[in-house]
Amino acid sequence: MIDIKLIRENRELVKENIKKKFQDEKLPLVDEVYEMDIKVREAQKAADDLKADKNKKSAEIGMLMKDKKIDEANAIKEEIATMATKITELENTKVELDKEIKSRMMVIPNIMDASVPVGKDDSENVEVERFGEPVVPEYEIPYHADIVASFNGLDKEAAGRTSGEGFYYLLGDVARLHEAMLACARDYMIDHGFTYAIPPFMIHSDVVTGVMSFPEMEAMMYKIEGEDLYLIGTSEHSMIGKFKDQIIKQDTLPINMTSYSPCFRKEGGSHGLEERGLYRVHQFEKQEMIVVCEPEESMDWYNKMWKLTVDLFRSWDIPVRQLECCSGDLADLKVKSCDIEAWSPRQQKYFEVASCSNLGDAQARRLGIRTKGENGTYYVHTLNNPVVAICTQVGNWLKSLNFQAKSTLISA
């Protein structure tokens, strides 16, 4: 959610940002917010003026009563009652207008960084840099589900009976590989100064709407029936929610944490579920990184975070590349984002393994996360980036390794 001062002072900037995201249907919201904000401030001023006048007249009543001017005192009492009714009406009007403004502000996208390339969708994302040389071996590489099956490491049929499509059992050495990758990612982040955390796996709706847009929530989140709880789609949600309605001590910033959690996702839509392997499933586990920092430090942290992912994958000798997300592929809360994609020699293409995002103060503004400096309180910036997503990553990693290397890894 952007600062409403931007709409008061520079509506054209907000509209141009919307146009760059190819969301022209949202353009009328800017003028609607502008007009309603004027009415809010008018109602507030009128209510404040009436309150001041009411207080002055209330003071007069005592003097009139003291002088036995009962009729005049009663007349002023009637005036005060009328004022009180009008004040209530103005305050109710303000409350209703504030609700309407907030509902629109929650939809208006965040202002993107000037460096974000303009493009309609992910097909127009821009490759920035490659790390490692992509190689296709001369021999045929088995599908990752077939490699896992050769070790009796996956049972989706049984999971179908217990839970339905999109779930799985991991068994034996493949399950051990799963845990080993989590441990590796956890310790890697701890070694880089991040504090390890295990957060709640369910969060309230006000946290959900604080960390993501409503369309994203509807597409991803599982709702707990009869309760104000959602299963998290990523631990970023509960980790950022940890600071909801807090004024963080300035000398504790930046806060950099790495969190483990299972992740639960509907995985509906065009990409669907993968029938055979470990990609696009309803449940997986992930190591995440989040940072809460001073506004002027957020871009430095953004660059540090995506580079941590690159370095981790290069330590596994997996070629990766960085893709800059274009304006049309950027979620509404994000200021800037890039994908890190790993090379799959079997598919002979890159696939996403991480998406590093700087959200500016959008999440902090929605959740009320602030710090206090010499000039008062202000909103912090928040960032997030996956370290590794397991089981998806187990499948992806197996696709990136040849069968002989995988066999050596398992036996080790």
- What DSSP character marks residue 38? H
Would you state the pLDDT for residue 75?
A: 83
Would you state the pLDDT for residue 394?
A: 54
Average confidence score pLDDT of the chain: 89
124-129: long-range contacts (C-beta < 8 A, 24 or more apart)? 124/326, 124/328, 124/329, 125/323, 125/324, 125/325, 125/326, 125/329, 125/339, 126/323, 126/324, 126/326, 127/321, 127/322, 127/323, 127/324, 128/321, 128/322, 128/323, 128/324, 128/338, 129/321, 129/322
CATH for 4-105 (1.10.287.40, 3.40.50.720, 3.40.50.300, 3.40.50.2300): 1.10.287.40
More confident call, 404 vs 385: 385
More confident call, 202 vs 266: 202
Q: Detail the DSSP E strand segments found in 138-254.
A: 154-155, 169-170, 195-197, 202-203, 222-223, 230-231, 247-248
Name the CATH architecture for the domain at 122-411: 2-Layer Sandwich (3.30)
Which band of pLDDT confidence, cut at 50, 70 and 90, is reported for residue 76? confident
Which band of pLDDT confidence, cut at 50, 70 and 90, is reported for residue 405? very low
- The model's pLDDT over 7-61, given as tens digits with 9 standing for 90+, comes to 999 999 999 999 999 999 999 999 999 999 999 999 999 999 999 998 888 777 7
Nearest to 3 by CA among 40, 327, 11: 11
Domain edges within the chain: 4-105, 122-411
pTM of the model: 0.87
Would you state the pLDDT for residue 213?
A: 80
Percentage with pLDDT > 70 across the chain: 91
- The model's pLDDT over 366-403, given as tens digits with 9 standing for 90+, comes to 999 999 988 899 999 999 999 998 755 555 555 554 44
Position 324 pLDDT exceeds 90: yes
